A = this chain, B = another copy of it.
Amino acid sequence: MRMTRQRRIILDELRKTKDHPTADMLYQSVRRHLPRISLGTVYRNLEILAEAGMIRKLEFGGASRMRFDATVSRHSHIRCVACGRIDDFPLDPDLNPEEYTAGINGYEVLGYNLEFYGRCPACKAKVK
C-alpha cells in the first residue's frame, strides 16, 4: 500500500478528531489541505485503511451513515439519541452490560445493543 499524500492527510485528519466523523465530514476537512481531492478518493482510502487495520469503520445501529474512528484499540461507544453525537468509552470485559448504566461520560444511559457475529453452522461446515 502506497502512503500517498491523500491517504496520509485523510488519516491525519481522522486522528485529529474524537468525534467519529462521516466520510463527508472528513472530505470537508481534508479539502482544506487538498482542495482538489474527490469524495470518491476519501471513501476508497477509508476502506483501504480499515482493511489494513489502521482505522475502524463504525456502522452504528440507528445511524444511516458510516462513521470512522482512528482509535483501533478495543473500546466501546455511546451515542446520544437526541443529537447523534458519539463518544468513546473504555470497555471492561469483566462487566456485564447492565452494570455500566451508572452514567457513562456524564450521559444518561438509556440502553444498549449487544450483537454477536460469527460463522453459522452451515458456513462453518462449508469452509473449514
**Interface set of A (CB-CB < 8 Å, partner B):** 58-63, 76-83, 85, 87, 89, 91, 93-98, 100, 104-124, 126-127
Contact = CB atoms under 8 A, between A and B. Distances in A.
A119 B107 contact: yes
Instruction: Specify the main secondary structure of chain A where it touches its partner.
Output: mixed
Nearest to A111: B117
A123 B76 contact: no
Contacts of A93: 96-98
B82 A115 contact: no
Of A58, A89, A121, most buried by chain B (CB within 10 Å of CB) is A121
Contact of A108 (B96, B118, B126): B118
Contact of A118 (B60, B63, B78, B123): B78
A121 to B, nearest CB: 4
Given A62-B59, A95-B96, A98-B93, A110 B114 contact: no
